Chain A
Amino acid sequence: QVQLQESGPGLVRSSQTLSLTCTVSGGSISSGPHYWSWIRQSAGKGLEWIGHIYTTGSTNYNPSLKSRVNMSVDTSKNQFSLNLSSVTAADTAVYYCAREDAWSNDYWGRGTLVIVSS
């Protein structure tokens, strides 16, 4: 059974960079034609797709965040990561990592709350 776990700071200063890592267990991140996604959920905007990355490093980002987002993958550690720069209070949310299969997200992490403070 594939499991995902987000990790990273729960509090980030405004204008700084939010950095999260997702560790995949129960299977290799390189197996299968899967993308690996980041999705966030805030009270104000509901669920928002941030983007996804393939194990080759190929990415697709939400245009609304594209100028601030960078995703990377480390197959040797079975991890993928999210960096979101120049954060503001609007970036406060629960951040989920997920596996994408057949263009749907079939396995999700538990989510991690990130609060942006001024």
Chain B
Amino acid sequence: DIQMTQSPSSLSASIGDRVTITCRASQGISTWLAWYQQKPGKAPKLLIYAASSLHSGVPSRFSGRGSGTDFTLTISSLQAEDFATYYCQQANRFPHTFGGGTKVEIK
């Protein structure tokens, strides 16, 4: 299986901060990567697909970059509704594996 490693596992940030989360794949996955946001008790929501494509309805402050093994999700200016846990998922090979998550908390 392809291992997806996210860092950090948690971070504290303030409203308006620029936040970057990293996801590293154990082998190259081209751009077959998605990012999700999950709030407590809710299903994950798709933010980014194909590493850098913004899903419909997702605010433009979210952006994704990367290819191969190293990827980033950036929130350009953190808003109150962005405090959540973020996951990456690769879809290059079966099984489609997820990262362990990054919890973004209020500073």
CB < 8 Å neighbour of B87 from A47, A51, A61, A63:
A47
By a CB distance below 8 angstroms, the chain B residues around A63 are: 1, 94-95
Contact with A along B30-60 (1 / 0, CB 8 A): 0010101000001111100110010100000
Number of B residues, CB within 8 Å of A: 23
CB < 8 Å neighbour of B91 from A96, A103, A108:
A103
Do the beta carbons of B43 and A109 come within 8 Å of each other? Answer: yes
CB < 8 Å neighbour of B100 from A46, A64, A101, A104:
A46
By a CB distance below 8 angstroms, the chain A residues around B61 are: none
Q: A108 vs B1: C-alpha distance in the bound complex, in angstroms?
A: 24
- What is the CB-to-nearest-CB distance from A47 to chain B, in angstroms, rounded to a whole number? 4
Contact with A along B46-88 (1 / 0, CB 8 A): 1001100101000000000000000000000000000000010
By a CB distance below 8 angstroms, the chain A residues around B97 are: 49
- Asked, given contacts A103-B49, A104-B34, A105-B34, whether A60 binds B94 with beta carbons under 8 Å apart, the answer is yes
- Asked, given contacts A46-B101, A60-B94, whether A108 binds B45 with beta carbons under 8 Å apart, the answer is yes
By a CB distance below 8 angstroms, the chain B residues around A103 are: 32, 34, 49-50, 91, 96
Sample of 16 further A-B pairs with CB below 8 A, known A110-B42, A110-B43: A46-B98, A46-B100, A47-B44, A47-B89, A48-B98, A51-B95, A60-B94, A62-B94, A96-B44, A103-B34, A103-B49, A104-B34, A104-B55, A105-B46, A106-B49, A111-B43
Closest 10 CB pairs of A and B: A103-B91, A104-B34, A104-B49, A108-B43, A47-B98, A62-B95, A49-B96, A106-B46, A49-B95, A60-B94
Show 6 residue pairs from A and B whose CB-CB distance is below 8 angstroms, ordered by the A residue: A46-B98, A62-B94, A103-B32, A104-B55, A104-B89, A109-B43
Q: Which residues of chain A have a CB within 8 Å of any CB of chain B?
A: 46-49, 51, 60-64, 96, 98, 101-106, 108-111
